[in-house]
Amino acid sequence: MRVTKAELHQLIQDKIHKAGLSKEHAGIVSDVLTFADARGIHSHGAMRVEYYSERIAKGGITQEPKFNFEKTGPSCGVFEGDNGSGFVAAEKAMDHAIEIAKETGVAVIGVRNISHSGALAYYVERAAEKDLVAVSVCQSDPMVVPFGGSEPFFGTNPIAFAAPSNDERIITFDMATTVQAWGKILHARSRKESIPDTWAVDEQGNPTTDSTKVNALVPISGAKGYGLMMMVDVLSGVLLGVPFGKHVSSMYHDLSKGRELGQLHIVINPEFFVGLDTFKQTISTMLDELKTVAPSAGFKEVNYPGERGRMREKNYEENGIEIVDDIYQYLISDDIHYDRYDHKNKFAE
């Protein structure tokens, strides 16, 4: 099923609002989810709406959160999320970071006690669009074996980065610290597709291509990915006083309780360093020079990080965004949710 971006945004907003969030907050949730689908990141898009709706309806996401931002230093602060929507808290915290970085040159803002916040690329691009450089990291469920281990401890703990150029191009990357994001496993399972044997392991700790037998993911590049995911947990968990590692709450264990997740935004103003104009011009020069690199076998050209996602977005604008039929039927239905996720395992089973 293909729908326009505007139609998809309205369907998601209506469903999230019906589940219990205000129209403003439901609109922000829809902004981020639609952004993900428009970039081809379907694992973080409309397929998540029913889960969020069930958690909202059952009280696991505070419907009217008491958000509070405390500036704890000239360039730092903590945004208290009151277990409200992670999308909304992360966006509002990023806006504080942008404002502070514009004034002081750098901002480090922690976001604590929130629910899942989706694709981090959305937030860092929000800063890049304001001529700033941004990094964002956050926690996730313990579902990754540490290097040398056979039991899950850390989450996929993603890292996102964005930087502006002197034209419409924005460098953007958003990566899990695992070989692949958990959402991609769920996406493969929903389509009954196999996965590469480098993505995950089964209950015995052996590599598997069967998406139905996955027990845990593996760190990207072994010990290096393991170190990165620990770094993310320290910055977005330990630093903010929320649960860390294997103590991070499960996405599906109890949808009536808040998840108490943490996230950290770091925003840098190039004007305070090399100067904004020089920075943006140099980024553009870098991207231009990358295009002159001879492609390897099987590639037509070298793409800068984020370029392919923008190409997908342009294609979707022309041809509509592809949504799985079952998800579309749910979005247009009168139902809020179907009790599919509460007290389920990490596969929502």
Q: What percent of the chain has pLDDT over 70?
A: 100
Whole-number pLDDT of residue 333? 98
Whether the per-residue pLDDT at 313 is higher than 90: the answer is yes
Q: What single DSSP character describes residue 249? A: P
Whole-number pLDDT of residue 347? 74
Whole-number pLDDT of residue 11? 98
CA distances from 214 to 12, 137, 148, 229, 344 (A): 30, 25, 18, 20, 16
- Reported as a pLDDT band with limits 50, 70 and 90, residue 1 is confident
Average confidence score pLDDT of the chain: 95
Whether the per-residue pLDDT at 61 is higher than 90: the answer is yes
- What ranges make up the beta strands (E) of 23-105? 68-73, 76-84
- Which domains, and CATH codes, for the chain? 2-178+219-274+314-332 (3.30.1370.60)
Q: What percent of the chain has pLDDT over 90?
A: 90
Whole-number pLDDT of residue 117? 98
- Reported as a pLDDT band with limits 50, 70 and 90, residue 22 is very high
Whole-number pLDDT of residue 303? 97
Q: Report, as an integer, the average pLDDT of 289-298.
A: 97
Q: Which of 27-31, 208-212, 231-235 has the lowest mean pLDDT?
A: 208-212
Whether the per-residue pLDDT at 183 is higher than 90: the answer is no
**Can you say how many angstroms the Cα of residue 284 is from the centroid of all Cα atoms in its chain?**
26
- Reported as a pLDDT band with limits 50, 70 and 90, residue 296 is very high
| Tens digit of each residue's pLDDT (9 = 90 or more) over 99-116 | 999 999 999 999 999 999
Whether the per-residue pLDDT at 86 is higher than 80: the answer is yes
pTM of the model: 0.95
Both tokens assigned to 208: 């598997």
Element of type H or E holding 265: strand 261-268
Question: Under a CB-based contact definition with an 8 Å cutoff, are residues 135 and 266 in contact?
Answer: yes
- Reported as a pLDDT band with limits 50, 70 and 90, residue 43 is confident
Residue type, 229: M
Between CA 126 and CA 162 the distance in angstroms is 9
Between CA 326 and CA 85 the distance in angstroms is 25
- What ranges make up the beta strands (E) of 49-105? 68-73, 76-84
> What dihedral angle (degrees, nearest 10) is formed by the CA atoms of 245, 246, 251, 256?
-110
- Reported as a pLDDT band with limits 50, 70 and 90, residue 185 is confident
Whether the per-residue pLDDT at 187 is higher than 90: the answer is no
Whole-number pLDDT of residue 98? 98
Burial of 66 (0-12, 13-18, 19+ CB in 10 A): exposed
Task: Tell me the catalytic residues.
Answer: 116
Whole-number pLDDT of residue 143? 92
More confident residue, 292 or 207: 292
Question: Under a CB-based contact definition with an 8 Å cutoff, are residues 62 and 25 in contact?
Answer: no
| Tens digit of each residue's pLDDT (9 = 90 or more) over 314-332 | 999 999 999 999 999 999 9
Burial of 206 (0-12, 13-18, 19+ CB in 10 A): exposed
- Reported as a pLDDT band with limits 50, 70 and 90, residue 278 is very high
Whether the per-residue pLDDT at 180 is higher than 90: the answer is no
Question: Under a CB-based contact definition with an 8 Å cutoff, are residues 143 and 200 in contact?
Answer: no
Q: How many helices (H) and strands (E) does the chain have?
A: 10, 11
Whether the per-residue pLDDT at 230 is higher than 80: the answer is yes
Name 314's Cβ contacts closer than 8 Å, sequence gap at least 6: none
